[in-house]
Chains A and B, each alone.
Chain A
Amino acid sequence: MAILPLPMEPTETLTETTLVSDRSRRFGDLRGVQWRIDLGILPSSPSSSIDDLRRVTADARRRYATLRKQLLVDPHLPKDGSSFPDLVMDNPLSQNPDSMWGRFFKNAELERMVDQDLTRLYPEHGSYFQTSGCQGMLRRILLLWCLRHPEYGYRQGMHELLAPLLYVLHIDVERLSEVRKTYEDHFTDKFDGFSFHENDLTYKFDFKKFSESMEHGNGSGKGSANASNLTEVDPKIQTIVLLSDAYGAEGELGVVLSEKFMEHDVYCMFDALMNGSGGAVAMAEFFSPSPFSSSHSGFPPVIEASAALYHLLSSVDSSLHSHLVELGVEPQYFALRWLRVLFGREFSLEDLLIIWDEIFACGNCKLNKLVENDFDASSGVLDSSRGAFISAFAVSMILYLRSSLLATENATSCLQRLLNFPDDVKLEKLIRKAKSLQALAVDANNSNPLLTQAGMFERSKSTVVRGHSLSLDSTSPRTPLTSVPDSYWEEKWRVLHKEEERKQDASEKQAPSNRKGWSEKVKLRLSRTESDPSPSSVDKRKKDPKLSVRRSLLEDLARQLGPDEDTENIVVDKHIDEKDQGVENGQDFIDENFACTSEQIGLSGNTGSEENSSIFSDPPSPINGVDNHGNESGRSSVASNSSLDENDGGANTADICGDNPEGSPRPVSDSPDDVSLQSGQNEETAAEKSMVGLKERKLISSKFQWFWKFGRVAGEGLSEKGQATDANKGCSGGIDHDNITGTSTANGGIIISSESSKVETVDQNVMVTLRNLGQSMIENIQVIESVFQQDRAQAGSSKNILVGKGQVTALAALKELRKISNLLSEM
């Protein structure tokens, strides 16, 4: 009646960094049993005896056997066991889906799908997985599970979840046979030779008597483990023996490590894994396309889980997170595979078993009781410590690839790296890292990531942009970042530039000064970007970056409208000031700091002439529209995006200028391209507007930008000057497209013509952008006005750069701007 001492209790004192295998768990070396306990099939309380385990096992197996009988359909047997089947319904060609044959065909279809996947399962371990016995078992299990859960059906990946479960049971059975060999005697049937105590129903081994009769010991196997008494044997071996004793509780059906009932056990494990055993992480949810019942976001659980992953990543390593977001790498692109097969595809089978040890060791009870029925308390599919570990592990995998991910600049190579996880990874490190992140993950999972996703993405993106832009940029532009092929933009650039040249030519009379001013301006800009601003200007600059931006915008606009004395004066003034290096007013900064937008706005502040004003009224809108559109369509790199941001048009250009001088012309060209595009679009949409004006503007801006670009690229004024002259030559009076195409400048009229056709083909919804433009213009105007007022107040001070005339023209330009914005808002 000796009751065997139970195997040692699982130690609860674990440090965070120990792996599961380090802990002395109850069935440490019997993964199959351990996993069954973790998954909730077998009782997990430390006090449950072997018998309890056996009983539970037996019950589970019985359930499976009945299930099998129910679901495996033999169509020849009449339905409901009646001997007079209704043949009209039950014939093979019956369309009736309820008929035996209908079900048979459905099952056959399902089986075919399952088979497709199974044949490709673990080919590298084909010696086990590709054997027909194993395949048959897997097929049946999957088929039965899918029939039992028709709402999920069969999805690819389920077989990969199932295979390791079968594998661990297989390993256990092998271990058992090893032990059998070495400890043969313990496994012999002794039930006949002993008398039993009444109470000793379950244990047929009467070990005291056993030891007496077996004094000579086993003779086999382990030298020191030559124990004749089972109690003297290593407790682990004891366990194995008891678990596999055919005469223990429930007899053969209760043999926990049994080869015969492997299918039953694996089915139970698979079922528990998929259902989550009442916990939070139910793998089946990852396969369902419909939103989790209790989730508040309308997304499928796997999307939610991927978002939770990113959420955790953002709290752990925000720069990597923002980098990934910036590249447009959505979490579910790689997380889908990771989550659905619990990292089965990323690691080898042995490694995977270790990882799954860890995963299953975490409890699966829902941590977040649904307190409120609102956003925050959505219990996601990862809402348990197991789920937290899963997401923490995924994040640690991402972090492992950190350096290579940060190095890539395009989404596909990022995904490639994430999806081809390196083989030579130190698993312990990953697991330790995951454990350390686990606590964080619990919080991350609790807050519903997806509902804030949009905002988060916006925020993160804007953060990114902000990070790239200079400190001048105070409001965050919300420009998504996408990359645009170089050639397209360069073309646009050139076309725009052509047009700008033409514009330039129109003001031929002021050509020399204009040119000079232009080139000077470019040079100015260049020097500005490359040199530090003078202290006083720095202060001012810092104070009123926006003001300066807007001021230059205005000037650009004025310039575009038509070359004007005053405009020239402004330019000249600026130039002079630049020479003086006494630039303190923000305007210089404006000039320097702006690339495209400044050009667009034009130098001329004079809008007195009707013609000018009419042109004036048109250009800004497309430009701004361009800006807006640029913002919304999110072109090219960060710099360009910031430049295109119409909220902070000036700031953006400031960024560009102030930003790396070597910054690719491409960003700059983007804006003119945008401008041209937008103009083109405007042409399409705002037919009532003077399209010509639009085109003009586009041309001008492109020209300017081209200038700017060349100025930058060339590095100094020389080339600029050359370009300026070219541009000026290129601009021959007329302001229409044909003229532009006619003119063949250094940049080639071909591009222009192609551009024009391209422009026409572009169609967008600029209306909204235009409206926004109008509003921003109003803001700009206000800013500029205030600046002017400031200047006026400082009349006579050295800080006053603008001569009186310039001021007047600027004011006039402001008024025009206002008109334009009104028009726009009416649109």
Chain B
Amino acid sequence: MVLVLALGDLHIPHRAPDLPAKFKSMLVAGKIQHIICTGNLCIKEVHDYLKTLCPDLHITRGEYDEETRYPETKTLTIGQFKLGICHGHQVIPWGDLDSLAMLQRQLDVDILVTGHTHQFTAYKHEAGVVINPGSATGAYSSITYDVNPSFVLMDIDGLRVVVYVYELIEGEVKVDKIDFKKTTAAADSTH
């Protein structure tokens, strides 16, 4: 029962002052074991805040990040799953599933987490899952102003991952849940 928080594209302080209050109240230290951040925090203070939620923090570099030493991509293993992180501005067309799948195969991961589009998406295809947690602050993107704040919490339990999506729609937190099951380790790796 490993809880992994995935979020990104906060754009603090340039495009948004802070996380929405309702999100902040939910994010309590001690429950979450890992944090995956796709990038564009942008400043160190946000990094420190995320560190207080959970010491195990993985970040990749977004184009507006002021910390230059984050990696472009990152992979980690949690339980039976391999996770990959990338900001997503490097993958063009932005948000395109096939291109992202290519990246997933390159990184050889089961779950790929990318951002940049500021829209929540979760695709499942044969190789695995591609998740876009959206923008946690609801900051405007290069593409659109109409952005709902959202983030993703993954509950990894053995061979099964449950993805909880938290969106702030018109001031209310809406939660959705998606179940993914890993077929077998062997089957996955051969794909």
Q: Pick the contact of A93 from B26, B162, B174, B176 — CB < 8 Å? A: B26
A454 at the A/B interface (Cβ < 8 Å)?
A: no
Please tell me if the beta carbons of B162 and A76 are within 8 angstroms of each other in the complex.
yes
Please tell me if the beta carbons of B164 and A92 are within 8 angstroms of each other in the complex.
yes
Shortest distance from the beta carbon of B80 to any chain A beta carbon, whole Å: 16
Please tell me if the beta carbons of B153 and A93 are within 8 angstroms of each other in the complex.
yes
Cβ proximity bits A72-91 to B, threshold 8 Å, 1 near / 0 not: 00011000000000011001
Residues from chain A with a CB closer than 8 A to the CB of B27 are 93
Residues from chain B with a CB closer than 8 A to the CB of A88 are 173-175
Q: Pick the contact of A92 from B25, B153, B174, B176 — CB < 8 Å? A: B153
Please tell me if the beta carbons of A93 and B166 are within 8 angstroms of each other in the complex.
yes
Number of interface residues of B (CB under 8 A): 18
B63 at the A/B interface (Cβ < 8 Å)?
A: no
Known A-B contacts A76-B162, A105-B31; the reply to A91 vs B153 at CB < 8 A is yes
Cβ proximity bits A636-661 to B, threshold 8 Å, 1 near / 0 not: 00000000000000000000000000
Most chain B beta carbons < 10 A, residue from A75, A91, A104: A91
Please tell me if the beta carbons of A92 and B177 are within 8 angstroms of each other in the complex.
no
A95 at the A/B interface (Cβ < 8 Å)?
A: yes
Cβ proximity bits B10-40 to A, threshold 8 Å, 1 near / 0 not: 0000000000000001111001000000000
Please tell me if the beta carbons of B25 and A87 are within 8 angstroms of each other in the complex.
no
Residues from chain B with a CB closer than 8 A to the CB of A91 are 153, 164, 166, 175, 177
Residues from chain B with a CB closer than 8 A to the CB of A94 are 26
A75 nearest in chain B by CB position: B1
Shortest distance from the beta carbon of A100 to any chain B beta carbon, whole Å: 12
A93 nearest in chain B by CB position: B26
Residues from chain B with a CB closer than 8 A to the CB of A104 are 1
Cβ proximity bits B147-191 to A, threshold 8 Å, 1 near / 0 not: 000000101010000101010000001111100000000000000
A75 to B28 CA separation, bound complex (whole angstroms):
18
Residues from chain A with a CB closer than 8 A to the CB of B25 are 95
Shortest distance from the beta carbon of A397 to any chain B beta carbon, whole Å: 44
B91 at the A/B interface (Cβ < 8 Å)?
A: no
Please tell me if the beta carbons of B26 and A87 are within 8 angstroms of each other in the complex.
no
B3 at the A/B interface (Cβ < 8 Å)?
A: yes
Number of interface residues of A (CB under 8 A): 11
Please tell me if the beta carbons of B157 and A92 are within 8 angstroms of each other in the complex.
no
A91 to B173 CA separation, bound complex (whole angstroms):
11
Residues from chain A with a CB closer than 8 A to the CB of B162 are 76
Please tell me if the beta carbons of B26 and A95 are within 8 angstroms of each other in the complex.
yes
A91 to B27 CA separation, bound complex (whole angstroms):
12
B23 nearest in chain A by CB position: A93
Residues from chain B with a CB closer than 8 A to the CB of A76 are 157, 162
Please tell me if the beta carbons of B31 and A93 are within 8 angstroms of each other in the complex.
yes
Residues from chain A with a CB closer than 8 A to the CB of B26 are 93-95
A90 nearest in chain B by CB position: B175
A95 to B23 CA separation, bound complex (whole angstroms):
11
Cβ proximity bits A56-76 to B, threshold 8 Å, 1 near / 0 not: 000000000000000000011
Shortest distance from the beta carbon of B78 to any chain A beta carbon, whole Å: 15
A105 to B177 CA separation, bound complex (whole angstroms):
19
Residues from chain A with a CB closer than 8 A to the CB of B28 are 93, 95
A327 to B170 CA separation, bound complex (whole angstroms):
70
Shortest distance from the beta carbon of B154 to any chain A beta carbon, whole Å: 10
Cβ proximity bits A401-417 to B, threshold 8 Å, 1 near / 0 not: 00000000000000000
Residues from chain B with a CB closer than 8 A to the CB of A87 are 164, 175-177
Known A-B contacts A87-B175, A87-B177, A105-B31; the reply to A92 vs B166 at CB < 8 A is no
B5 nearest in chain A by CB position: A93
Residues from chain A with a CB closer than 8 A to the CB of B177 are 87, 91
A76 to B173 CA separation, bound complex (whole angstroms):
21
A563 to B25 CA separation, bound complex (whole angstroms):
81
A278 to B166 CA separation, bound complex (whole angstroms):
50
Shortest distance from the beta carbon of B156 to any chain A beta carbon, whole Å: 11
Please tell me if the beta carbons of B3 and A92 are within 8 angstroms of each other in the complex.
yes
A105 to B164 CA separation, bound complex (whole angstroms):
17
Residues from chain B with a CB closer than 8 A to the CB of A93 are 26-28, 31, 153, 164, 166
A93 to B176 CA separation, bound complex (whole angstroms):
12
A108 nearest in chain B by CB position: B1
Residues from chain B with a CB closer than 8 A to the CB of A75 are 1
Residues from chain A with a CB closer than 8 A to the CB of B164 are 87, 91-93
B176 nearest in chain A by CB position: A87
A76 to B1 CA separation, bound complex (whole angstroms):
10
A92 to B5 CA separation, bound complex (whole angstroms):
11
A257 to B110 CA separation, bound complex (whole angstroms):
50
B164 nearest in chain A by CB position: A91
A710 to B34 CA separation, bound complex (whole angstroms):
76
A75 to B160 CA separation, bound complex (whole angstroms):
14
Q: Which of B97-113 contact A (CB under 8 A)?
A: none
Residues from chain A with a CB closer than 8 A to the CB of B3 are 92
A94 to B174 CA separation, bound complex (whole angstroms):
12
A691 to B3 CA separation, bound complex (whole angstroms):
73
A231 to B177 CA separation, bound complex (whole angstroms):
65
B27 nearest in chain A by CB position: A93
B25 nearest in chain A by CB position: A95
Shortest distance from the beta carbon of B180 to any chain A beta carbon, whole Å: 13
Residues from chain A with a CB closer than 8 A to the CB of B173 are 88
Shortest distance from the beta carbon of B17 to any chain A beta carbon, whole Å: 22
Q: Which of B101-137 contact A (CB under 8 A)?
A: none
A105 nearest in chain B by CB position: B31
Shortest distance from the beta carbon of A294 to any chain B beta carbon, whole Å: 40
A75 to B1 CA separation, bound complex (whole angstroms):
10
Shortest distance from the beta carbon of B120 to any chain A beta carbon, whole Å: 15
Shortest distance from the beta carbon of A446 to any chain B beta carbon, whole Å: 49
Residues from chain A with a CB closer than 8 A to the CB of B1 are 75, 104
A76 to B164 CA separation, bound complex (whole angstroms):
12
Residues from chain A with a CB closer than 8 A to the CB of B174 are 88
Q: Which of A101-131 contact B (CB under 8 A)?
A: 104-105
A594 to B177 CA separation, bound complex (whole angstroms):
89
Residues from chain B with a CB closer than 8 A to the CB of A92 are 3, 31, 153, 155, 164
A166 to B59 CA separation, bound complex (whole angstroms):
49
A806 to B164 CA separation, bound complex (whole angstroms):
101
Q: Which of B22-75 contact A (CB under 8 A)?
A: 25-28, 31
Shortest distance from the beta carbon of A223 to any chain B beta carbon, whole Å: 56
A87 to B179 CA separation, bound complex (whole angstroms):
13
A351 to B174 CA separation, bound complex (whole angstroms):
61
Shortest distance from the beta carbon of B98 to any chain A beta carbon, whole Å: 31
Residues from chain A with a CB closer than 8 A to the CB of B31 are 92-93, 105
B155 nearest in chain A by CB position: A92
Shortest distance from the beta carbon of A759 to any chain B beta carbon, whole Å: 53
A88 to B173 CA separation, bound complex (whole angstroms):
7
A87 to B164 CA separation, bound complex (whole angstroms):
9
Most chain B beta carbons < 10 A, residue from A91, A92, A93, A94: A93
A105 to B33 CA separation, bound complex (whole angstroms):
13
B174 nearest in chain A by CB position: A88
> What are 25 pairs between A and B in contact, CB < 8 Å?
A76-B157, A76-B162, A87-B164, A87-B175, A87-B176, A87-B177, A88-B173, A88-B174, A88-B175, A91-B153, A91-B164, A91-B166, A91-B175, A91-B177, A92-B31, A92-B153, A92-B164, A93-B26, A93-B27, A93-B153, A94-B26, A95-B25, A95-B26, A95-B28, A105-B31
Besides the known contacts A92-B3, A93-B26, 13 further A-B residue pairs in the complex with CB atoms under 8 A apart: A76-B157, A76-B162, A87-B175, A88-B175, A91-B153, A91-B175, A91-B177, A93-B28, A93-B153, A93-B166, A94-B26, A104-B1, A105-B31
5 A-B pairs with the lowest CB-CB distances in the bound complex, closest first: A87-B175, A93-B26, A91-B175, A91-B164, A88-B175
